[in-house]
């Protein structure tokens, strides 16, 4: 599913985010930036140890924060490590919004033309997929309606259930515009 917002393509895809060739992919990171399981583990396996070495130099970031490393052996030039909330934390919706927005701002600041997001915090952090989709998509749309420089934003959802959730949420948000 694709749509355009202020000359930026917003696209939903189902698949493995580590196979994309956008300028950057977003890692659903932990505050310590240790590439363990889920999206982070796939990035470590396919991108190689250089990404973890760079994360170690950065040292970490706060929940809602985003930092950038190179893409190692991945097709992408960069990985943006965004820390989403654990389900049940205080102010979790605001923290997910911040992680999304800080990733978009970091991409714009570094003149990237394209970025791909997973469904941040919906894996081991247990965040509800429908709430995640509403927060991430509405935050992205609001950013793209402003002065964003990005040419393409992709939401790459690993499984069909998550893809369907993001698709129906995006359709609903577009009806409200």
* E-strand stretches of 38-100: 66-70, 78-83
φ and ψ at 90, to 5 degrees? Answer: -70, 145
**What per-residue confidence (pLDDT) applies to 37?**
82
pTM above 0.85, yes or no: yes
- CA dist 41 and 65 (Å) reads 19
Residue 147 near residue 110 (C-beta atoms within 8 A): no
- CA dist 60 and 57 (Å) reads 9
Range of the domain at 59: 2-175
Indicate the SS3 state at residue 9.
strand
Indicate the pLDDT class of residue 136, thresholds 50, 70 and 90. very high
CB atoms within 10 A of CB 81: 29
Residue 173: C-alpha distances to residues 7, 122, 134, 158, 169 (Å):
18, 20, 8, 21, 6
Residue 127 near residue 135 (C-beta atoms within 8 A): no
Residue 30 near residue 56 (C-beta atoms within 8 A): no
Mean pLDDT of 88-100: 97
- For residue 162 the two structure tokens come to 């998550």
- CA dist 134 and 115 (Å) reads 18
Work out the mean pLDDT of the chain and round it to a whole number. 95
> Tens digit of pLDDT for each residue in 31-65?
999 998 888 889 999 999 999 999 999 999 999 99
Indicate the pLDDT class of residue 22, thresholds 50, 70 and 90. very high
Indicate the pLDDT class of residue 176, thresholds 50, 70 and 90. confident
Domain harbouring 90, CATH code: 3.40.220.10
- CA dist 68 and 131 (Å) reads 25
- Give the count of domains, the chain: 1
- CA dist 61 and 55 (Å) reads 10
């Amino acid at each position: 599913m694709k749509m355009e917002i202020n000359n930026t393509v917003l696209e939903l895809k189902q698949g493995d985010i580590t196979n994309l060739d956008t300028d950057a992919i977003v890692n659903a990171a932990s505050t310590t930036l240790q590439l363990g399981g889920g999206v982070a583990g796939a990035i470590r396996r396919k991108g190689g140890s250089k990404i973890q070495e760079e994360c170690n130099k950065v040292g970490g970031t706060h929940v809602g924060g985003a930092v950038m490393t190179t893409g190692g052996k991945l097709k992408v030039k960069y990985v943006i490590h965004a820390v989403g909330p654990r389900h049940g934390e205080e102010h979790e919706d605001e923290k997910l919004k911040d992680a999304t927005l800080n990733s978009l701002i970091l991409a714009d600041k570094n003149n990237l033309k394209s970025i791909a997001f997973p469904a941040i915090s919906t894996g081991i952090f247990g965040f509800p997929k429908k709430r995640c989709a509403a927060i991430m998509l509405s935050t992205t749309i609001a950013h793209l309606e402003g002065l964003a420089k990005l040419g393409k934003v992709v939401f790459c959802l690993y499984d069909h259930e998550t893809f369907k959730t993001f698709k129906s949420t995006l359709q609903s948000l577009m009806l409200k515009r």
